[in-house]
């Protein structure tokens, strides 16, 4: 286990700075003078991005460029969180870091364009692509499933999108290690294994000891504004090359359910 003991970690949120405001971002970064900036802020509502592309690009691409410019000016290193949705989902084996980006949604395009701009502006930045995040402290898939399962006898969940659930606790530990290793370039960081949303939901309901029936359905049946990749499993080879391993997603889910109960 890796803990960030000796360094000072400062959490900033949207009340401290809107990343669309380049001057404010620059001022804050100069004031804090960090060694590393971990940029997790984003407009993450994938369907919302489809309806409001201006906002998606303003926050996810141009906001990220503002943070990268401030990092460049102050000599800070930047770790940018990106997404499996930069891929089109046509592969049937895990995506490697060098595979071509071909996003299918506005959200995915805004992240893909940010990646390209950041690498131009700050060649030593670290881009961490992750997927299907869950954890305490915000809306996430397991939380939604548990709330729905408490009030419904059956749940329909899509079974034709495959990816890898990732526990924010495990991702945070990996981020610390990546910073400590002075990592540059693109890294894929997810929990181990893969599943469909249906399989994930089944495991959540079972893990919580609920009797709700989960039924597999197609994405077509649950039509949403943004198209999602059918397969977005990210390869672990980039993490393995750095000597970092993340636990399997089932183990991560068990720890999340425990944390949620306590
Ligand atoms: N969730 C996933 O499954 C997933 C998968 C792959 C990659 N990622 C990436 O991982 C990162 C974290 O995702 P998440 O799901 O934890 O995100 P989240 O829960 O939606 O949180 C996003 C954060 O960004 C802040 N934010 C939004 N617009 C902002 C702006 N203009 N200026 C400053 N802050 C702003 C939000 O603040 P307010 O709440 O105050 O608006 C919020 O604190 C994102 O970069 C996302 O693209 C997520």
- Rounded distance from Cα 211 to ligand 1 centre (Å): 33
**Residue 3: per-residue pLDDT:** 52
Rounded alpha-carbon distances, angstroms, from residue 187 to 30, 234, 253 = 27, 10, 22
- Rounded distance from Cα 39 to ligand 1 centre (Å): 9
| Bridge partners, residue 234, by sequence | 95
Catalytic one of 107, 167, 231, 256: 107
**Residue 2: per-residue pLDDT:** 44
C-alpha 166/C-alpha 131 separation (Å) is 6
C-alpha 206/C-alpha 229 separation (Å) is 26
Closest CA to 37 of 66, 2, 1: 66
C-alpha 185/C-alpha 203 separation (Å) is 34
Mean pLDDT by 10 residues, the chain (262 residues): 68 95 97 96 98 98 98 97 98 98 98 98 98 95 96 95 98 96 98 98 96 94 91 98 98 97 90
- Rounded distance from Cα 106 to ligand 1 centre (Å): 15
**Residue 1: per-residue pLDDT:** 38
What's the helix, strand, coil split of the chain in %, to 5? 40, 15, 40
Nearest residue (by CA) to ligand 1, atom 45, is 40
């Amino acid at each position: 286990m890796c803990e960030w003991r000796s360094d000072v970690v400062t959490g900033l949120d949207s009340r401290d700075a809107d990343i669309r405001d380049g001057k404010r971002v620059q001022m804050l970064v100069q004031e804090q003078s960090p060694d590393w900036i971990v940029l997790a802020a984003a407009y993450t509502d994938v369907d919302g991005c489809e309806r409001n592309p201006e906002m998606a690009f303003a926050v996810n691409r141009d906001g990220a460029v503002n943070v990268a410019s401030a990092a460049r000016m102050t000599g800070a290193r930047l770790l940018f969180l990106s997404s499996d949705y930069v891929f089109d989902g046509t592969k049937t084996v895990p995506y490697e870091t060098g595979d071509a980006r071909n996003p299918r949604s506005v959200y995915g395009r805004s992240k893909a364009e940010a990646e390209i701009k950041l690498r131009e502006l700050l060649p030593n930045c670290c881009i961490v692509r992750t997927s299907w995040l869950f954890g305490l402290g915000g809306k996430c898939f397991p939380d939604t499933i548990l709330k729905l399962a408490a009030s419904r006898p059956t749940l329909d969940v899509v079974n034709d999108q495959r990816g890898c659930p990732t526990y924010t606790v495990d991702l945070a530990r990996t981020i610390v290690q990546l910073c400590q290793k002075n990592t540059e370039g693109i890294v894929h960081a997810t929990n181990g294994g893969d599943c469909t949303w249906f399989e994930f939901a089944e495991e959540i309901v079972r893990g919580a000891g609920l009797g709700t029936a989960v039924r597999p359905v197609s994405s077509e049946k649950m039509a949403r504004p943004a198209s999602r990749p059918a397969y977005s499993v990210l390869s672990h080879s980039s993490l393995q090359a750095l000597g970092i391993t993340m636990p399997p997603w089932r183990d991560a889910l068990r720890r999340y359910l425990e944390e949620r109960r306590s």
